[in-house]
Chain A
């Protein structure tokens, strides 16, 4: 009898809704004052009870306002989304309280008590993060050990790249083709020449001095450029009807996919020089680039193979019946369709490639993560690991999140077209 009276129904909404709201508001008030004002308004209760009081109060409150078909739009939406059952109400409260509890120290550390102004570690007096560290080292984090006066070369190489890509989007279809050819086959040489110098009056900068975020971009760009065609060839090889080519492709793909990148990089750094004639020297950056390219090409090949397998047999037969040869059939009929099918997979592989670039520190090349490692061991800046890695994590997160979002959009766009 009492229990049925306690069940919240629409008839008694006028009693239950205010009562429940009071409970919920009180629960949140307790947590908020506790976190931000250091006042425990349930302090008169025994310690354990006071600790779980907001959970308990909120739970009761949520129970009381769980009125089905109340007719109030906001309440119905609330109940449906975060308060559909006792268990859900409990989880909702738990998550909200954890967020409230966590947000205050996080904000304090990140912004409120952090130091932004200054030029040395002594300027960091607050309890929060010392963003001065990032500010002072920013140049190094972006350009590595590239000489300060020559950094305009890195900038202009990237600005040129972005400008070309930007223009390529807008120019008419006819010229676009030449633009893309220029981007793929001519620009890389211009970029490399600009960065390394040695002629045209530019000072030579050895690749060991390259580093920071710009190196991440350089390696990603070149690896993407080269791993794509190699991956497509390997995928075609794996689907080939010629046994020798098929088995070589399978062996090659499985070899790279079976080992961790770090051992491949070690191989490029210490084992590969042994395979070259005595006295020949290949730059370490190039060796690493070859290693990453081959490694990612194997993954790319598997993605492309997925697309090739998904195409109906009729496409092959139709192309053959038109008298097309192997290459014409693949380039004109099969690949355009297959690649379109696997754009999300390709994007994921490229994303993995970008996320793999920090690994090059194992062979002594320092991109963003490596430079942070260097900066945090500087005697003047000890104890700055947290700031450094939070910053690096944020930078990589923005890059990778943007990429994954872009690929998701692309996927959606293509799926509506079909």
Chain B
């Protein structure tokens, strides 16, 4: 009895010692760094604090979704950078998903040529560093585009030039009502789908869910156009001569080449990983599942929709979310080609001007970190929800 007690106490102490030592080491390292930082900042006459965020930034940003010029604050500059990061990430995720699904499905094709082409696409683009691909698109491919006066013309609506891609500007009247109408449409689709599911599970009635959902999504915003005074017109880009040899386009929206290059490279690179996920997901659904579904009389599209896809998605979605996260983090490579994302605007330009290395780098890293952590929390929740409940 006594011996056992001593043993337990021994184990407790044995467990405690390494923990205490690690924590102490960590604290002392942090303390050492903090004191040094304090001394260094004192020597340079700056004090730690985030007050600089409200100071005037006095630099311009080439591409911004919200109003910005030199008279706005550093905080606003951070916001501009963050929005640009989010913009390129969303475009990249959208394109990468489409391309990735196509390539992933193509790799499984029974057509030898299609499968091989898709395989080589993956092998080529996955094994070249992303930064080189960005450089290639920006410095080599897009620089080969014509100047504005010889632009590549898409039906007089948009123009592709070396200075960027000019597209029509959307001019909305009562845009907020349109947004509400879309929200209402989405809510009604949600309730309709719940109703359809109930009908199916309780009475065995199958409603044409997809067609009706699409109908709702189109008809409610359309009604807002007809009844509530929403209207949309376009400002087409027009060629304008600035001087004898210099031309530009006006009135439209200009998508800068940096954004095009970055979005292209990010989506083509990430698509290879998504394609592999899609392939693994579809292969992962065992053949028996399809055969069982066929044997109870489901047709081909029902098998795909009701049996294969739900199981394949369970395999595909978690690693694909990871890829979305990687794409968002990789969008920081924007700094290499001067696309004004968070890293370039904040961690480079603002840092150079203010010299506040510690504050700025911590804000930047924390922003990325909170993005990552919130997505992984969401993912864990999703995985738990979707996991097959075994009895």
Contact residues in A for B371 (Cβ distance below 8 Å): 258
Residue of B nearest to A241 (CB): B15
* Nearest-neighbor residue (CB-CB) of B135 within chain A: A389
- Asked if A275 and B26 sit within 8 Å, CB to CB, the answer is no
Distance between B314 CB and nearest chain A CB, rounded to angstroms: 19
Binary contact readout B350-387 vs A (1 if CB under 8 angstroms, 0 otherwise) = 01000001100100110011011100000000000000
Q: For the complex, what is the distance from the CA of A356 to the CA of B332, rounded to whole Å? A: 13
Question: A243-B19, A245-B22, A400-B127 known; A262 and B343 CB under 8 Å?
Answer: yes
B369 touches A401 (CB 8 A): no
B132 touches A369 (CB 8 A): yes
Q: Is B191 an interface residue when CB atoms closer than 8 A count as contact?
A: no
Residues in A whose Cβ lies below 8 Å from that of B132: 358, 369, 389, 392-393, 396
CB-defined contacts of B330 to chain A, threshold 8 Å: 260
Give Cα A260–Cα B371 distance, bound, in whole angstroms.
11
Q: Is the CB of A259 within 8 A of B369?
A: yes
B128 touches A82 (CB 8 A): no
Residue of B nearest to A387 (CB): B140
Q: How far is the CA of A82 from the CA of B117 in the complex (A)?
A: 12
Residue of A259, A263, A267, A389 near B140 (CB, 8 A) is: A389
Q: Which of B26, B343, B369 contacts A255 (CB 8 A)?
A: B369
If A81-B111, A242-B18, A385-B143 touch, does A266 touch B130 (CB 8 Å cutoff)?
A: no
Determine if B347 is an interface residue (Cβ-Cβ < 8 Å): yes
On whether the beta carbons of B39 and A278 are closer than 8 Å, the reply is: yes
Q: Is A175 an interface residue (CB 8 A)?
A: no
Check if A95 sits within 8 Å of B113, measured CB to CB: yes
Q: A382 to nearest B CB, angstroms? A: 11
Name the CB-closest residue of B to A78: B112
- Indicate which residue in A263, A274, A373, A389 contacts B332 across the interface (CB closer than 8 Å): A263
Total residues of chain B contacting the partner, CB 8 A: 58
Instruction: List, in ascending order, chain A residues with CB within 8 A of B347's CB.
Output: 263, 266
Residue of B nearest to A84 (CB): B110
Residue of B nearest to A354 (CB): B129
* Residues of A close to B255: CB separation below 8 A: none
Q: Evaluate contact between A386 and B368: CB separation under 8 angstroms.
A: no
Bound state CA distance, A96 and B116, in angstroms? 12
Tell me if A257 is interfacial: C-beta within 8 Å of chain B: yes
Main secondary structure of the interface of B (DSSP, over half): helix
Q: Report A-chain residues with C-beta under 8 Å of the C-beta of B348.
A: 266
- Across the interface, A259 reaches (CB within 8 A) one of B19, B40, B365, namely B365
B28 part of interface (Cβ distance < 8 Å): no
Complex: how many Å from CA A278 to CA B39? 8
> What 0/1 readout, one digit per residue, does chain B (96-120) give for beta carbons within 8 Å of chain A?
0000000000000111111001000
Q: Is B179 an interface residue (CB 8 A)?
A: no
* Residue B23, interface by CB 8 Å: yes
Query: Would A274 and B343 be within 8 Å (CB), given that A260-B329, A355-B130, A376-B139 are in contact?
Result: no
Q: A263-B332, A389-B139 are in contact. Are A275 and B112 (CB under 8 A)?
A: no
B335 at the interface (CB under 8 A from A): yes
A-chain residues with CB within 8 Å of residue B126 when the two chains form the complex: 400, 404
Question: Smallest Cβ distance from A174 to chain B, in angstroms?
Answer: 36
Contact across chains for A400 and B22 when beta carbons are under 8 A apart: no
Shortest C-beta distance, A61 to chain B (Å), equals 16
- Is there an interface contact between B128 and A396, defined as CB atoms closer than 8 Å? yes
- Contacts A254-B373, A270-B361 aside, 13 further interface pairs with beta carbons under 8 A come to A82-B113, A91-B111, A92-B114, A248-B26, A257-B372, A258-B369, A259-B365, A259-B369, A262-B332, A271-B361, A278-B39, A355-B128, A401-B123
A-B CB contact pairs (8 Å), 9 listed: A81-B112, A82-B113, A242-B18, A245-B18, A258-B371, A259-B372, A277-B36, A393-B136, A397-B127
Instruction: List residues of B whose CB falls within 8 A of some A CB.
Output: 15, 18-20, 22-23, 26, 33, 36-37, 39-41, 43, 109-114, 117, 123-124, 126-133, 135-136, 139-141, 143-144, 329-330, 332-333, 335-336, 343, 347-348, 351, 357-358, 361, 364-365, 368-369, 371-373
Residues of A within 8 A of B (CB): 81-82, 84, 88, 91-92, 95-96, 241-245, 248, 254-255, 257-260, 262-264, 266-267, 270-271, 274-278, 351, 355-359, 361-362, 369, 372-373, 376, 385-386, 389-390, 392-393, 396-397, 400-401, 404
